[in-house]
Each structure stands twice: as structure tokens, then as C-alpha cells.
Chain A
Amino acid sequence: MILDWFTAPLQYGFMVKALWVSAFVGIVCAVLSCYITLKGWSLMGDAVSHAVVPGVVVAYALGIPFAVGAFLFGFGATVAIGYVKENTRLKEDAVIGVVFTGFFAFGLVLSTKIPSNIDLFHILFGNVLGISQGDIIQTLIAGLITLVVILLRRKDLLLFCFDPNHAKAIGLNTKLMYYTLLLVLALTTVTALQTAGIILVVAMLVTPGATAYLLSDRFDRMLAISVGTSLLSCILGVYLSYHLDVATGACIVVLLTLLFVAAMIFAPKYGLLSQLRLNKLYSQ
């Protein structure tokens, strides 16, 4: 009976595809999310995901792969954010707010004025159940590049998140690290576009890392927990979306959030319950 719940959907090709694509996306996002939460770049993730809209529209209009357009605009937005921040007295959150909404709104205008057969709803909320072969290939390429770059530069990226001044002091190129992290952020957003959709990508980029951060004091373990929760949410999310007939991205993010809440309450060291216990211990 329970087994049926899992095996029945597998007779459909689109479900098998959706399952493994979501799992792959879940892994890529989970790995990056550890760096994003530690660096404090969650808002930046939100910015990149919204900023890709005009890129997607232009790409479809020109007949080039959507990933190329999305990547260029996503990365472009982060560069624009960096530039505005350097050259004005505004704080970063204000700059991010201005730039990404500008990109997003421009994308909405474009999408209604440029004739194309893209469904805005699918860009906004994802459509992994109807993902095409071409889109799968683009997702895979963007995700694999991300994983390889992070794997090769993981120690430098971690140092950059932890102590960029020390990185500078030992003669490492922190500008390069900054742009590397932005680059993989843009690539990951492209990867997750089809699964979660623009609005919810940020959850996949932040929540697994945030959950893991509450559960661990070591980066390796944090990475493992992040990947674990993300993978679980993505796979169960696809099943739920099939059985309950709701949007896949939404299911995945609801599960991610539930796991986060569970971690927040029950985490052995940093959870609310253990804090309560600790306070009680002290007050005795």
C-alpha cells in the first residue's frame, strides 16, 4: 500500500524524469546554500532569481537556450548590484531591492510585449513535471559546472565566507572569489528554475543550509545535512505534488520549511527545546 504510493507514479516517464531532475537540483542547491547562508547572501539569491526573467524572455525570442539568457541576466544583476553599492552611499539591501525588482518588472513588460510561446506561470512557479529534454540538458550542464567549481574551490570559498580579510592578507584574490561565488549562484538559479520557479528558488538556495546550520558546528557535517534534507524534500515533494495534484515547487518548499521548523525546535544544541532546558538548568 505504502509501496504503491511510491511505485505507482513511476510508470509514467514524466514522473521518473521529474524525480531525478528534482533530486539533482536539490543536491546542487543544497551544496551552494551552505555557502550562501554562511556568507549572508540570501537576499542576493532572491535578487538573482528574479533578475533572470528578462533573460528568459529574450532567450526564447532569439531562439537561444533559456539557460544562457537567464544566466547572463542573473549574473548581470549581481554585477549591477555590486557597482551601485560601490558608487553610492546606499546600504546593500536597498541596492538589491532596487535592482532586482527593476530587472523583474522589465522582464514582465518584455514577456507581454515580445511574442513568444512561453508561459509566464511556468517561469514563476516552475514546471518540472512538463520539463523538456532540452531543458533537462541545460539544467544538467549548469548544475554540473556549479558542482565542479565548488568542489575545486571549496576551501577558498569557505575562507572567503569566513574571513575575507585573512584571504587578502595571505595574498589570495578575493575579487575572484567574490565573482566565483556570484557565478555559481547565478548558475544554480538557472538550474533550479524549472523545478522551483523564480519565486521559490530562493527557498532552495537558503533553507537547506539554514536547517543544517542549526544542526551542526562543522562545515562537512553541515554540507551533508543540507544535502540530505534537500534531497528528501525534493523527492517527497515530487510524489506529493503527483498525489495531491499541486505545484511541485510549492510541495518541495513546504517540506523544506517543515524540516527547518523541526530543526529549529528539536535541534540538540541550538534548538528551542534544548535552550529551554538549558535555561531551566541555570535557573535552578
Chain B
Amino acid sequence: MTQTLGITVDNISVTYNNARLALYDASCQVQPGTITGLVGPNGGGKSTLFKSIMGFLEPNQGRVSIDGLPIQQAQKRQLVAYVPQADEVDWNFPVSVWDVVMMGRYGYMNLLRIPSPKDRRLVRESLARVGMMDFCNRQIGELSGGQKKRAFLARALAQEAKIMLLDEPFTGVDVKTEKAIIDLLLQLRDAGHTILISTHDLASISTFCDRVILLNQTILASGKTEEVFTEENLAMTFGGLPIRGKGGKEERKKVIGNR
């Protein structure tokens, strides 16, 4: 069995066009075979970090590697799947659930993207796994919040990627669906997948995340959930310490480190 390296984020800084500093000197590791929760306040850079990892935006400094490979190469090898936030999707687009899940297979198809029997089988299996087979002919806008999430989860499953990134998968989702998604993530982890999930649903973190990364414009702490996911650290992450400039970061690290 080959040793997988998970995700390595090395000293990333991102400043947006409007000169807003979104992320600075962020470094962290996502360990293979774990579920890692990315936790931080709104505007704390969670989505920016995700987009940097996926190569959707070019950081001003720093590097990301996935399984030891640069992002683009890892993506060409279908190593990474990404489940977008609900508000990143055009729900009026004229595609069916089946079409969307089939898009997870495009990377395996020839240039004309003609699905093979295997592609069809995997789409069916993925849909069945999230309990969405009955809705496969629906236009995506005709789904409930939870069904929408499950449809995109099925797309990620169909892609058969070892690493999965989920951006806020529990927003607009009922408790039952949230539990179903968590069960699925646990199964995937036990099958050797690496999962990075951003959420501000703090209550459920300790029930399924093996590790936690705390983020507020930079990585404040990361490690095993029971060690890092403490009340003091959370107060630090969501609280009012100075957050701009290196001083703020050092100060926070010191405080967190001392605990």
C-alpha cells in the first residue's frame, strides 16, 4: 500500500483585489485517513483556504500540495473532490441530478465525454448511497436543501477521489440529513479517504472530526480534536484578539501554546 500524504498547506497568504487581507502565513497539514474539521468565524478565511487548496485562486505566497503533488497534477489524477457551498451553485441551471453526478466522471472519460457502462454504474451506486436514486430525473432546483447537498455529495462519490473537501455541508440541512451525511463521511474515512470539512456547526464537531484546524485569518491551532477543540481555543478563535499583522498571530500562538 502506498503511503498517502494528505494535504500540505505551506505558508499561504491571500490578499483580494480590494486589498483585503483574507489569509496570511497559513500553514497546516491534513492527515491522511482522517476527518478534519476547519473551524473559524465567518470572514475568517475558511472559504479562501479551501479555494487556495483547490487552486481556484492563486495565493500571493505559499504552496499547497496534495499527496506530495502540485494541485493541478493531483486534480488530473482525480485525487481531490470538492463539494461546493449551496450559494455557489446556479440552481436554475437546466441540468438533472443524474447529469450533475455524471459530471463527477468526466475526468475519466474520453474527450467527447461519452459515459461507459462503468460510469453509469458508478453514478447509480453513488446516487443510491446518498438515497437520491428516486430523484435522479429532477432538475436540481426542484430539490430540498438536504437533497441538494446529497446530490453534490453523490457527484464527489462518483469521482472516486481519495481526498474530499466539503465547504459548509450542513447549512440549510435538517438534522436527519446532517446525521446521514456524517455517517457517510465516517464510512468514507474508514475506507481510507481523507476528508476536510469546513463548518460553523460547532456542536457536531467533536462527534465525528478526528482533527480540528482553527482558523481566523491564519492557522491558530491544529491537532487532535480533544487537544485543540477546547473552550479556551475557541474563545481565542472567535474572540477579539488583534487579528491583523504578525504581532497578532504570534500573540495568539503564544496564548494557545501556553495552554
Contact = CB atoms under 8 A, between A and B. Distances in A.
Interface of A: 38, 89, 152, 155-156, 158-159, 161-163, 165-172, 213, 216-219, 221-222
B143 to A, nearest CB: 12
Contacts of B112: 152, 155
A163 B56 CA distance: 12
A165 B56 contact: yes
Nearest 8 pairs between A and B by C-beta? A171-B76, A170-B107, A171-B75, A155-B113, A217-B139, A169-B82, A219-B94, A162-B93
A62 B17 CA distance: 43
A171 B72 contact: yes
Interface string B109-126: 001110000000000000
Interface residues of B, number: 34
Given A152-B111, A155-B112, A165 B84 contact: yes
B89 interface: yes
Contacts, number: 71
A217 B94 contact: yes
Given A155-B113, A165-B56, A168-B56, A222 B94 contact: yes
22 contacts: A38-B93, A89-B17, A152-B112, A156-B106, A161-B93, A162-B95, A163-B89, A163-B103, A165-B54, A165-B84, A165-B88, A166-B84, A169-B81, A170-B78, A170-B103, A170-B104, A170-B107, A171-B107, A172-B107, A217-B141, A218-B139, A221-B94
B244 interface: no
A85 B139 CA distance: 33
B90 A162 contact: yes
Contacts of A216: 94
Contacts of A152: 111-112
A170 B159 contact: yes
Nearest to A155: B113
Contacts of B55: 168
A166 B155 contact: yes
Contacts of B49: none
B80 interface: yes
B180 to A, nearest CB: 22
B3 interface: no
Give the residue among A155, A166, A167, A171 with the most B Cβ atoms within 10 A.
Answer: A166
B103 A159 contact: yes
Nearest to B81: A169
B47 to A, nearest CB: 11
B254 interface: no
Give the residue among B55, B77, B141 with the most A Cβ atoms within 10 A.
Answer: B55
A222 B99 CA distance: 15
A169 B90 contact: no
B18 interface: yes
Interface in B53-72: 54-56, 72
Nearest to A222: B94
